[in-house]
A = this chain, B = another copy of it.
Amino acid sequence: MNNEKVWTAGLVVIGDEILSGRTADKNIAQIASWLQVQGIRLAEVRVVADDMDAIAGAVNALRTAYDYLFTTGGIGPTHDDITVDAIAAALGVDVVIHPQARAMLEDYYKDKPGGLNDARLRMARVPDGADLIPNAMSGAPGIRHGNIFLMAGVPAITAQMLHGLTGQLEGGAPLMVETVGCWTAESEVAEILREVEKAHEGCQIGSYPFFREGRTGANFVIRSTSRDVLESAVDTLCEALAETGRDFTPGGI
């Protein structure tokens, strides 16, 4: 029995390029994996267009529903980068130039063609009251305002910002995960999965079928915040699969 607080986060992915299908999002998986290590569960994601009302609506819904809210996208120098404005509007605060962000950008652009022009200075704008999240890659920082974290759309830059935040957010016990793979149609072992999950409190078992080399298989992913519960569930599942005469692969296929 685990009565610890479960820490949760929401994520708002901002960008027409995702909704048009032009760009396949990589930030959901990246942020989800990072949050797991921090002991925080990603509870919901919304992908919205580059639109003030859509961004503000999603941000206000998720920042109140979960402990933390992350956003990706829309913090660059061009006209379609409106995340700061939309979040300031959602919070009812002004947009201001952050002096430290300005200094970072002045330094970054001092030897580059064009210098710190108006477009680049847009990247020093923050909702009033915000702190910065360092980013070694492009000079433009991420932004933190209360429980809201504004990250870049470019996954490599967001990776830098996450690195800067690692270990700084309060979380709970990390969810531990084990995978068991089996060359079987998941539909042949569905009852086994259901029973093992039911017998292990707080344990979740997901079933992820695949077709590979002309064969049907599935990975069963078992999750728990308790090492003991997790190990017992894995052992019980492997025993039950063995009883049916199936080969299984701890660690997954």
Interface of A is mostly: mixed
Number of interface residues, chain A, beta carbon within 8 A: 70
**Is B28's CB under 8 angstroms from A26's CB?**
no
Given A18-B28, A206-B50, A209-B154, decide whether A188 and B78 contact each other with a Cβ distance below 8 A.
Answer: no
Q: List B contacts of A211 (CB < 8 A).
A: 154, 156
Q: Smallest CB–CB gap between A108 and chain B, Å? A: 11
A102 at the binding interface (Cβ < 8 Å): no
Query: Which stretch (A84-92, A112-120, A225-233, A234-242) binds chain B?
Result: A112-120
Whole-angstrom distance between the alpha carbons of A106 and B213 in the complex? 25
**Is B20's CB under 8 angstroms from A117's CB?**
no
Q: Can you offer 30 A-B residue contacts whose CB atoms are under 8 A? A: A13-B45, A16-B223, A17-B206, A17-B221, A18-B29, A18-B32, A19-B44, A20-B32, A20-B175, A20-B177, A20-B221, A21-B30, A21-B35, A21-B36, A22-B221, A23-B29, A43-B49, A44-B46, A44-B47, A46-B47, A76-B207, A77-B186, A78-B186, A79-B193, A79-B197, A114-B188, A119-B187, A119-B188, A123-B187, A154-B210
Q: How many copies of this chain does one complex carry?
A: 2
